[in-house]
Amino acid sequence: MNRQNIASGAVWEDIVGYSRAVRVGNVVEVAGTTAMDGAEIIGPDNAYEQTKFILTKIEKALHEAGANLTNVVRTRMFVVDISNWEEIGRAHGEFFKNIKPVTSMLEVKALIQPGLLIEIEATAIIPE
């Protein structure tokens, strides 16, 4: 089966050895994605803005893999403060209101960079 690696250019990709997304067959897995734009955090102290930015980045990676948001079957959200769930959920709902993938939202101690409030993974299946 063919494998397509999609890179975002993030400095961590080569250091850690990962891709933003990988497509194998009709399945696309998108790595944990944060609100980093180069060295800048988008939406500092704003879980809603960070979530919207992340989902836009995920959408871009999906397009590069030949998929789109309607193909997403699962998202996983890792948050540093679960009390932000409503802001995060509102942003997630704006992208997935009619798609309704399964999802998880888990509180974690910290993310890779101080100031990041959320990290999201996604799985998409492209119809054959």
Q: Judge whether 33 and 76 are in contact, CB under 8 Å.
A: no
The model's pTM is 0.95
pLDDT tens per residue across span 26-64: 999 999 999 999 889 999 999 999 999 999 999 999 999
Of 4, 124, 18, nearest in space to 34 by CA? 18
Higher per-residue pLDDT: 13 or 18: 18
- Confidence class for position 8, pLDDT limits 50, 70, 90: confident
Q: What are the chain's domains? A: 3-125 (3.30.1330.40)
Residue of 79, 60, 74, 75 whose CA lies nearest to 119: 79
Position 13 pLDDT exceeds 90: no
Mean pLDDT (whole number) for 62-89:
98
